[in-house]
Amino acid sequence: MENSSSPAGDQHSLVVSYRISVSRQRTGLGLVLFASLGIAAVLLVQILHTTGTMALGFDNWRPILYAYVLWSVALGAGQVLIRGERGLRALFLLPAVLFTVAMVIFPTLFGVYLAFTDWNLSSFTGREFNGLDNFRSLIHDSYYWNALRNMVYYVLVVLVQYAIAFGLALLLNAEIRARKFFRVVFLLPMMITPVGVAYLFRMLTDTSKGPFYPIWNAVGLANTSWVANPWGARWAVMISDIWQWTPFMFIVLLAALESQPTEPIEAAVVDGANRWQIFWEITLPSILSVSSTLILIRLIEAFKIVDLPNVLTSGGPGTATESLTLHAYSIWRTLDIGGSAAVAYMLLFVVTFIGVSYANFVRRRVVEA
């Protein structure tokens, strides 16, 4: 029972739930239990059929989808029968939870299974469980280590983006002329899609033809193959990434600077602190949490970079600019589903490890600050 201090709305929901008959609650429990046993049985039969343990089964996983939809409907109806008014409230959240399970959790778990299988769509043998063979092959795959090395460069670019964005945010947070105009101009690169940015820099680095050829010809750099050189191609990808995503960091840092309280700064000025002391002792600690979150978001995005190297350089020359995501896609194009899944989950492991380590480090620094 709720105590006398409970809100009136909660008391009303409790009264409504108490009026639900026992037979109705039993019906709801029976419906949920029957639907759960049904989908579990269908799923077990399909798993046994897929693994070759049992001949009885379905040709594809479409019946599992139908069973999942029926189970979802039964689960929603069961919530209403069992919990009454609170069950109706749960129906607003239930579709989002079920959609997440179907479109995120299940594909993730199924991808883990694929990473431990030898499955090439061009093979007549179908899927075969091969344990850790896909991951062992990555250790001896020079292309994988090349892509992993490229990820180091792309991740370090995030620090360059932060430094530029922080400088621009400090500049436009001051009282300067036309700062509203510059705030809008600096956001323009972020409004362009990554594919559009890649094509823009592809035309810019093409010195033999294209709209920028007259400029390159005038300065004597016509017919210079920039992206034919591995480091030239890497710099093209990194600069284009800096150009597009620095505005994102800039606008967030600018908002953090403008929202910081002015009282500590005014007190420091009265005490005789100079600009560097105010920046180091007040401004920087006040936006430390925002900065750490911003860098973490961009680190995750940098690990997933695929559109810029794919469109700008096609991962080349050779595999000089290939990222881990692009490497997984390249393996997938050879119809090697298991190998592609193994690369994807190695990327997931690396991102999770670095993200958790970074978050723990930043949390300690925030506490010290």
Domain boundaries, the chain: 8-115, 136-368
pLDDT for position 6: 45
- Characterize 33-49 residue by residue with b for buried, 16 or more Cβ atoms within 10 angstroms of its Cβ, and e for exposed: eebeeebeebeebbeee
Alpha carbon distance 84, 24 (integer Å): 10
pLDDT for position 185: 85
The candidate with the shortest Cα–Cα distance to 327, out of 303, 352, 354, is 303
* Residue 318 falls in which region: left (phi positive, over 0), alpha (psi -120 to 50) or beta: left
CATH class of 136-368: mainly alpha
Residue type, 62: R
pLDDT for position 369: 60
Task: Say which residues have a Cβ less than 8 Å from residue 231's Cβ, sequence separation at least 6.
Answer: 320
8-state DSSP, 60: S
What are the two backbone dihedrals, phi and then psi, of residue 58, each rounded to the nearest 5 degrees? -115, 155
Cα 228 from chain centroid? Answer: 31
The gap between the terminal CA atoms of the chain, to the nearest Å, is 45
pLDDT tens over the chain, length 369 residues: 344 444 544 444 444 445 788 888 899 999 999 999 999 998 888 888 877 777 777 777 788 888 999 999 999 999 888 888 888 888 888 889 999 988 888 888 888 988 998 888 887 777 788 888 999 999 889 999 999 999 999 999 999 999 999 999 988 888 777 778 888 888 888 888 888 888 888 888 777 777 777 877 787 777 777 778 888 889 989 999 999 999 999 999 998 988 888 888 888 888 888 888 888 888 888 888 889 999 999 999 999 899 889 988 888 888 889 999 999 999 998 888 999 999 999 999 999 999 899 888 888 877 666
Say what angle helices 179-187 and 142-173 make with each other, to 10 degrees. Answer: 160
Cα 237 from chain centroid? Answer: 20
Per the listing, tokens 């001896």 go with 140
